[in-house]
Structure 1
Amino acid sequence: MKARSWRVKDVMSTPVVSATPTATASQLAELLQAHDIKHLPVVENGRLAGMISRRDLMRALLDVPRQCIASGDEALGTAVRSRLEAELEITPPMVNATVSNGVVTLRGEVETELERSAARVAAESVRGVGGVVNKITLASAW
């Protein structure tokens, strides 16, 4: 029915999922993925301001000028911090990751030795990392 209908009510998902004009590309991508939809209405003041599709997001990502893309140590640092947050929910100020000449230094405090080791492994698994210095300490259990 969705593929052949001429009526909006037959093809739209309910409840309607929409975004605001100030939404980031990351937020838009999360909405599209979380709701398994291909198009997202952008609504401002109760009125349709536009539509965003998965293809629009991919095109925007591919068209980013080279000078806007982090490289070298900066890119590695961003990748390591992203991995720590996404996979382990470890964020600054808990743990900070800095990179110098491809070597990541982890500093901060976590609750368990398992978290400390997991942070090291996550950092090591980022492509391009030449080594990891793990200076993460364990929080004192009172």
Structure 2
Amino acid sequence: MHEYTSTTRAWGLTCPGLPEEVSRARRWTRDILGASPLAEDAELIASELSANAILHTASGRPAGSFHLALAVSSQVIALSVTDGGGMDGAPKVERPDEEAVHGRGLGMVSALAHRVVVRNSDGAHTVTAELFTSPRPGPGGHPC
């Protein structure tokens, strides 16, 4: 790739807030990433973030939805899920006890991703997980 050009490709998918849409989010991610060595991690991230949107926000209410975005470049795979809002506070990593049924998803995403960013916009949240496809430059380094 030439140092002054970018070949980032981006996709988006809006899904109804139904439980069966979590598997659709996984398939969609897998279909786009194909044989990428990071495809399995990205699928799991898509699944966890989609499920969180349905379980913990207005996305899972009747007529609710969530939006997935996937951006792929030579340096990073970035997967974002934007929920329907309606939750008190921003999503955060929890430390549930061993008996808990929920509460591990964002922790798992944080363990798989190289970086996780949560943004709040008008009550809705976008959680972006980044998987670096090549080593990140050190301090003062340049990505090119």
Superposition TM-score, scaled by structure 2 size: 0.31
Question: Rg: which structure is higher?
Answer: 1
Higher relative contact order (CA 8 A, sep 6+): 2
The answer to which structure has the higher helix fraction is 1
Superposition TM-score, scaled by structure 1 size: 0.31
